[in-house]
Chain A
Amino acid sequence: MEVRSLRLDDYYSDNTIICRCEEITLGEIRELIRKGYRSVDEIKRISRAGMGPCQGRTCRQLIMQEIARFEGKSLSELKMPTFRPPTKPIKMEILLGGEKDE
């Protein structure tokens, strides 16, 4: 059976929003990669991509693909970004213990 290959280029343009929480486009990510920021952690710190409420659930993978493409590496050769708790946003008052939830 012939397998179709989906080319990223056809689907993502420079205007595509990569990080929806912080509204960062693929074009901005590509620019940062060109400037020498070559890991998800570095790109996150300088652009805020992945710092929003979803904590990079969507953009992390896409940014890694862009870095891999730019450097001609496979995803497995890249340094994995740091995952930080909490896994889901948690309301401050939930942590107070003994207090009623409204």
Chain B
Amino acid sequence: MNKRANVVIIGGGISGCAIAYNLAKKGVKDVIVIEKDYICSGSTGRCGAGVRMQWGTEMNCRLAKYSIEFFERANEELEYEYDIEFKQGGYLIVASTEKEETQFKKNLELQHSLGIPSKYLTPKEAKEIVKHMDESKIRCATFCPKDGHLNPFHATQAYANAAKRLGVEIMTYTTVTGIKVENGAVVGVETSKGFISTPMVVNAAGGYSKAIGDMAGVDIPLYPERHQILVTEPVAQMQGPMFMSFSLNIYCQQTPHGSFIMGRGDANEPKDFNINSSWSFLEEMAKTCCELLPPLRKLNIVRQWAGLYEITPDRQPIYCESSEVKGFFIACGFSGHGFMFAPVTGVVMSEIILGEPTSLPVEKLHKDRFLRGEEVYEPSVV
């Protein structure tokens, strides 16, 4: 097989599908998405799919607000035949240390200046929103009713189907094995199903983005880190918002289907591609969950799994065309929040690829920031 394309996107997660849709919507022809397994087989299909406007930097607040407003109308705009299941039950973020409380108050001021409807809550007020929590464990909380979570399979499929209708070709079960660069510019992509000549390649390979960068001779400062998650049996609706704590290390949501999904990070994770599940995760997760949300101790856990975070030195994504190789575009390094930024990823990457000014403030997210020592720090990450 010998093919040609205008743009080849590597990765069929939500980032790749969102970029493909936005390019096609702008009228770009011959866009091909290459995915080594199936749509959503990477981190996207393994994630909590939580989306929140409650961030601690102006940039992230703006980007997240844009994304959430898109998800609110995504079923219609993407003409999706099912439902992306956007449940806007809010995010209740609790503070358990003084430092956190101080930071949250600053965050609220920033969020309000940007029109984000978040608010401060005392432990008692927080308990009115999540009745089954033990409020003695917290100092205060913040709540934004616009935050929530989605079904990641449906959200990605919605983008993929819309892209296909606009003429994008999605090649599943096809692996990119090499990128051909001549005179400092991309000329094609080697795949398990043959060569595709193209002047533009987009690296949206999630946890594998560093390896894709290496294929083009572009160094991407990124490492994969396992994050685990579990799901319980479904029960009647009892928790509206996502419940989250940075310091106590938990996020916990009840899906529209009734099951609870919860996860946490582990600072001691080795930096590798291991995505097996561990018993110690179950124990630690259960302990934290039962302490903060005691009635959930009665729930049966039905399944656990793991996926990769792709972490950059400042835990912020990379959006740019590489300065080293012309036609090599990078959209990765989401460091645990790439699902919620996908609508932004799609829009800004299509603009960067077409050489247009970006409609959202992402200039600071160029990969070269790490060379210049201009990392972007965000206080509110899990």
Interface positions of A (Cβ within 8 A of B): 39, 41-42, 45-46, 48, 51-53, 55, 84-86, 89-93, 95-97
B116: A residues at CB distance < 8 A: none
Check B41–A84 contact: CB distance below 8 A: no
Check A91–B38 contact: CB distance below 8 A: no
Q: 9 closest A-B pairs (Cβ-Cβ)?
A: A89-B300, A95-B286, A93-B297, A45-B153, A92-B286, A92-B297, A84-B303, A42-B38, A89-B302
Check A90–B300 contact: CB distance below 8 A: yes
* Among A41, A42, A92, contact of B298 (Cβ-Cβ < 8 Å): A92
Residue of B at shortest CB range from A22?
Answer: B257
Interface positions of B (Cβ within 8 A of A): 38-41, 45, 82, 153-154, 157, 231-233, 257, 277, 279, 282-283, 286-287, 289-290, 296-305
Alpha-carbon distance between A95 and B301 when the two chains are bound, in angstroms: 10
Check B299–A91 contact: CB distance below 8 A: yes
B304: A residues at CB distance < 8 A: 84-86
Number of A-B contacts (CB under 8 A): 73
- Shortest Cβ distance from residue A59 to the other chain B in the assembled complex, whole angstroms: 14
Check A86–B301 contact: CB distance below 8 A: yes
Alpha-carbon distance between A51 and B301 when the two chains are bound, in angstroms: 12
Check A51–B298 contact: CB distance below 8 A: no
B157: A residues at CB distance < 8 A: 46
A42: B residues at CB distance < 8 A: 38-39
Check A55–B299 contact: CB distance below 8 A: no
A48: B residues at CB distance < 8 A: 257
Check A90–B301 contact: CB distance below 8 A: yes
Check B154–A84 contact: CB distance below 8 A: no
* Among B38, B39, B283, B302, contact of A53 (Cβ-Cβ < 8 Å): B302
Alpha-carbon distance between A52 and B301 when the two chains are bound, in angstroms: 11
Check A46–B153 contact: CB distance below 8 A: yes
B38: A residues at CB distance < 8 A: 39, 41-42
Check B290–A55 contact: CB distance below 8 A: no
Alpha-carbon distance between A96 and B231 when the two chains are bound, in angstroms: 17
Alpha-carbon distance between A46 and B232 when the two chains are bound, in angstroms: 18
A41: B residues at CB distance < 8 A: 38, 41
- Shortest Cβ distance from residue A100 to the other chain B in the assembled complex, whole angstroms: 12
Would A46 and B154 be within 8 Å (CB), given that A86-B282, A90-B301 are in contact? yes
Check B282–A84 contact: CB distance below 8 A: no
B283: A residues at CB distance < 8 A: 95-97
